[in-house]
Amino acid sequence: MRKIQSFVRRSGRLTLGQKMGLTELWADYGVDLPKGKIGLNHLFVKQQKIVLEVGFGNGDSLLEMAIKRPDKNFLGIEVYEAHKHQLTNLKVIKEDAVEVLKNHIEGDSFNRFQLFFPDPWHKKKHFKRRLVQTEFLDLLSKKIINGGKVHMATDWEHYATHMMVVLENHPHFKNTQNDPIYSPRPEYQPVTKFERRGHRLGHGVWDLIFINEES
């Protein structure tokens, strides 16, 4: 697939706590990429369902989910907050998700994939940089178990429409609403800082939840 990154690095935005988390606590919560595939079952204390979130920002929402759902393992988040709660069901990979999925993750590894409030690249000339494209879904469908879910949320209506079109037209994903309509907000989804910002700007929020029907 053409070069699409899950994030763009921006310097100067880490707090002191975050910098500490990415250095001192890396041994406990960070994942250094091997040359080949990651042994996901060896990352966590318990072998249980794994949720992958890409583009987790400051990690508040994923942290909250990991605290409330100790019966699931979560991959993502900034490590300094995880240390405060002594969590054993959280890990972070500090690399581009597309490259990680392509080169370091076995098929049928995740039960749920989350993408909350990704960069909308709202200028028309930048639409090609959006993460949610057919090629990315092709890759994702191989990494999520058959019957696993994809949950995306955005506060940009145009991107929501784009996500809906791409997902609805993909042969491996089926809308949980059985129609090309958006999903009600699930109970497990915390409010993120990006969502609060969207509300302040007068934006709506659109959730899309699809099932992977073929791995």
**CA separation for the pair 140, 107 (Å, rounded):** 9
φ and ψ of 166, to 5 deg: -65, -45
Give catalytic residue positions.
Answer: 119
Category of 202 on φ-ψ map: left (φ > 0), alpha (ψ -120 to 50) or beta: left
Numbers of helices and strands, H then E, in the chain:
8, 7
**CA separation for the pair 37, 179 (Å, rounded):** 37
**Which runs of consecutive H residues, i.e. helices, occur in 10-110?**
16-21, 26-29, 60-68, 79-84, 97-104
Angstrom CA distances, 19 to 22, 114, 157, stand at 5, 25, 34
Token pair for 170: 């993909």
Specify whether the CB–CB gap between 77 and 22 falls below 8 A. no
